Amino acid sequence: MSVSREIITKARQDYIEGRSVRAICDDYGMTRFTFYLWLDGGPVRSPNRLPPIPRRSELRVTQPVRLSGKRTTVAKHLWRATERQVRELENRLLRTDRSPEERTADLESLLSLVKTYAELSELNRAIKKSVENFEKNPSGRSEKSSSEPKSPTMELSELRRNLACRIAALAGGGGSEIRELADGSGD
């Protein structure tokens, strides 16, 4: 279904003024998909592309969730926050209307998240090792074990190398390469 430029402009303005998406779609006879497509600027390869309008859910400030004192709960929240930030960065890097400075800032943020990911992975391993040790030796007495676990440094360096290659591809790659990396088909 084709929607006129005038309708698109009115619908976008109504959204900025705070009207509900349902009311806008009902009034202008468009689907939510079409509305959100034009809210994001329209088809990517369209010559009539408009500047994207931030979604209200992105602008909403939410009250932080109180965390319980359990380390596993805090770790789960950190994982979710990191995953959410990576998704947001991937979506921003896929956009073609961003300046080189904005893309550089996003790549620097991604590098920071890579470090966070590595630290969370190390924390995960430490928690698992602690649980395994407790299950093996609930009394906590020290026992010498002849079978030392393999060094996590090797796994960590491999992860870093893999992520560095992906980041380099994102920094220098074209749109199709970035989409392949983002959806995992470029492996």
Q: Verify that 125 and 82 share a domain, yes or no.
A: yes
Q: Verify that 36 and 106 share a domain, yes or no.
A: no
Decide: 38 and 12 in contact? Cβ < 8 Å: yes
Q: Verify that 90 and 170 share a domain, yes or no.
A: yes
Please give the Cα distance from 5 to 66 (Å, whole number): 45
Work out whether the CA dihedral 127, 132, 136, 142 comes out positive or negative: negative
Query: Which residue is it, tokens 């956009």?
Result: 95
Whether residue 175 is contained in a domain is answered as: yes
Whether residue 60 is contained in a domain is answered as: no
Whether residue 13 is contained in a domain is answered as: yes
Q: How far is CA 106 from CA 4, 10, 82, 109, 179, in A?
A: 34, 32, 14, 5, 16
pLDDT tens digits for range 92-144: 778 778 788 888 888 888 888 888 778 878 877 887 787 777 777 766 665 55
Tell me which residue range forms the domain holding 119: 68-138+151-183
Q: Verify that 89 and 42 share a domain, yes or no.
A: no
Q: Verify that 94 and 29 share a domain, yes or no.
A: no
Whether residue 143 is contained in a domain is answered as: no
Whether residue 23 is contained in a domain is answered as: yes
How many Cα atoms are found within 13 Å in the side-chain-facing hemisphere of 50?
18
Q: Verify that 13 and 76 share a domain, yes or no.
A: no
pTM above 0.75, yes or no: no
Whether residue 164 is contained in a domain is answered as: yes
Q: Verify that 26 and 104 share a domain, yes or no.
A: no
pLDDT tens digits for range 63-88: 565 655 666 677 777 778 888 888 88
Residue 26 reports pLDDT greater than 90: yes
Whether residue 179 is contained in a domain is answered as: yes
List the structure tokens of 142.
């020290």
Q: Verify that 115 and 175 share a domain, yes or no.
A: yes
The whole-number average pLDDT for the span 15-40 is: 91
Q: Verify that 115 and 174 share a domain, yes or no.
A: yes
27 pLDDT band, cuts 50/70/90, is: very high
Q: How many domains are contained in the chain?
A: 2
Residue 182 reports pLDDT greater than 50: no
SS3 category, 96 = coil
The whole-number average pLDDT for the span 143-160 is: 58
